[in-house]
A and B are shown apart, each in its own frame.
Chain A
Amino acid sequence: MQNLSIPASARTPAIDFDFGKNHLKLSGESYPEDVTEFYNPVFSALDAYLAALGQGSCRFDFELIYLNSSSAKAVMMLMDKLEAAAAKGAAVDVYWFYDKEDDTMQELGEEFGEDLENAKFHLEKMSG
């Protein structure tokens, strides 16, 4: 499967989905002009990957500095997809990295983590 790599822009996060290594990452800031337009290709790529993953394992890193409320909805949809794959037997590790200076992002991570039952959730401080 072709990897998905989208560089960060001022208002959109970097997407680095390395499907060969089963390591997916979303990092930076997210407050796109049009959330649907930005996230739809990301959802499609993730759906195709997770459908083929089966009982395999994968890791998803969220390293977000800031996200607006409509992006939070998109992040929730990503979490739901990961949780659904884990419920079907995949070994899914979700990492939420937050800036230790911003407890709002830590709380948001906790809130997303509460809804994961099958995927394993890890809440960690960003390094540096």
Chain B
Amino acid sequence: MLARELYDIRSILRKQGIIFAYSGYVTEAVLSGVGDAIKQKLLFDDADTKTLRSVFAVFVEQMQNMIRYSVETPKSGVIEPSYSGIRYGVLTIGQENGDYVIYAGNLIQRSDIKRLRERLSKIRGMNKEELRALYKERLRGDPEEGSKGAGLGFVEIARRASKPIDFDFTDVDDEYAFFTIKASV
């Protein structure tokens, strides 16, 4: 029974083409370890250099976004500096129609949906040249409000992706929503 249940979870993931699935508390050390395994797996797949680097680049930005912006900390309902560096998130890497597809998801405040949706819609609608210009602008500019990083992560993901990025939100309760971003390489 034990084995059957866990095997069923594995089968569901495998059927969807998922080769990596992580759901849990994420830290920089998790990023290092999982990142290393991903590199090795892609080398075994004989992925070309650009694909390997792009999958890795998307993975790093998505993991760091979760570590910085997921509102889910080890102590429920508490977001404070003592919990910086450990946040709950879900990340999967799979293959769909010949592409590597990276999904990342984490809880956010519902009040942040509007801002995120605007930012991501803008990026989603841009071609490579526009993304390049936006990347330069963000590189030079001050970090956006609510952004602890350079505000560049989403642009980097979109530039590394071979198709427009996808994103979605689903409400969890009155305060929180689950945010998901998908990038294909």
Contact = CB atoms under 8 A, between A and B. Distances in A.
A101 B155 CA distance: 21
Interface string A66-103: 10111011001000000000000000000000010111
B132 A68 contact: no
Given A73-B152, A104-B160, A111 B132 contact: yes
Nearest to B50: A102
Given A10-B32, A76-B139, A31 B60 contact: yes
B53 A66 contact: yes
Contact of B64 (A68, A72, A101): A68
Interface string A5-45: 00000110000000000000000000101000000000000
Nearest to B143: A73
A70 B50 CA distance: 20
Contacts of B61: 68-69
B20 interface: no
A124 interface: no
A55 to B, nearest CB: 28
A107 B54 CA distance: 14
Contact of B149 (A70, A99, A102, A104): A70
A102 to B, nearest CB: 5
A101 B49 contact: yes
A73 B28 contact: no
Contacts of A10: 32, 36
B150 A72 contact: yes
The residue in A65, A69, A111 that gathers the most chain B C-beta atoms within 10 A of its C-beta is A69
Contact of B57 (A11, A33, A68, A111): A68
Given A69-B150, A102-B49, A107-B132, A11 B32 contact: yes
Contacts, number: 54
A52 to B, nearest CB: 28
A100 B135 CA distance: 22
Contacts of A69: 61, 149-150, 152-153, 155-156
Given A10-B32, A104-B54, A72 B152 contact: yes
Given A68-B156, A76-B140, A104-B160, A111 B135 contact: yes
Nearest to A65: B53
Interface in B32-62: 32, 36, 48-50, 53-54, 56-57, 60-61
A73 B160 contact: no
Contacts of B182: none
B117 interface: no
B10 interface: no
B159 interface: yes
Interface in B12-35: 28, 32
B104 to A, nearest CB: 15
Interface of A: 10-11, 31, 33, 65-66, 68-70, 72-73, 76, 99, 101-105, 107, 111
